[in-house]
Amino acid sequence: MPLLSGLVVYIFPNFASVQQTIITNNMFKKITILLLIVTFISCQKSDSDKNEKDKIKMAHWLLGTWETKSADGILSENWKKVNDSTYEGQSYFVKGKDTLHFETVKLQQKGEELTYVATVKGQNDDKAVSFSLTETTEKQLVFENPKHDYPQKISYNHISKDSLVTEISGTQLGKASTEKYLMTKRK
């Protein structure tokens, strides 16, 4: 066998160098393929992270100041984007100079779940109440919490660029109840 090795080196003096180049090229190809796979997986993760935020993005039309006026007073909602996963809102009902109702709301996405979290001043010991997204389209958001006293359901329907209908419903004092508000955009 040593004679054969010596013959190969005599006939192909650069054989060891060629062999090393082949090994190096193969390793380079393997490393390149491995890097491509890691990059592809990283991009897939980024896409799934992006998809997780799609639910809150569907509510972009909610941002701004909305208002409805009636003989009883003025109901206003102000929504702003805090970050890619959270919108914050304030809702208040004013009659004359008196604020009769005030609540803060967070529309928050964690993973695949979008939650409407309301804190109403003077209710539930000023503790937040969560409502889970149960239905969504490009023009509708429906949140529900069947364990809450009232409302159990909150929905927003985007009618046009400058109008939406918000509806709260459920059972109140043993009877079905629904309140609808047609709101127009101020800002």
- Give yes or no for a contact between 65 and 186, defined as CB atoms under 8 angstroms apart: yes
- What are the boundaries of each domain within the chain? 2-52, 55-185
Q: pLDDT at position 30, please?
A: 67
For range 146-150, the mean pLDDT? 95
* pLDDT band with cut points at 50, 70 and 90 for residue 136: very high
Q: What are phi and psi of 47, to 5 degrees?
A: -65, -40
Q: How far from chain centre, in Å, is Cα 74?
A: 30
CA–CA dist 153, 168 (Å, integer):
6
Q: What are phi and psi of 21, to 5 degrees?
A: -65, -40
Q: Half-sphere exposure of 12 toward its Cβ, with a 13 Å CA cutoff?
A: 8
CA–CA dist 31, 21 (Å, integer):
15
Q: Give me Rg for the CA atoms of the chain.
A: 31
pLDDT tens per residue across span 93-115? 999 999 999 999 999 999 999 99
Amino acid at 132: S
Q: pLDDT at position 187, please?
A: 67
CATH code, residues 55-185:
2.40.128.20
Q: pLDDT at position 38, please?
A: 59
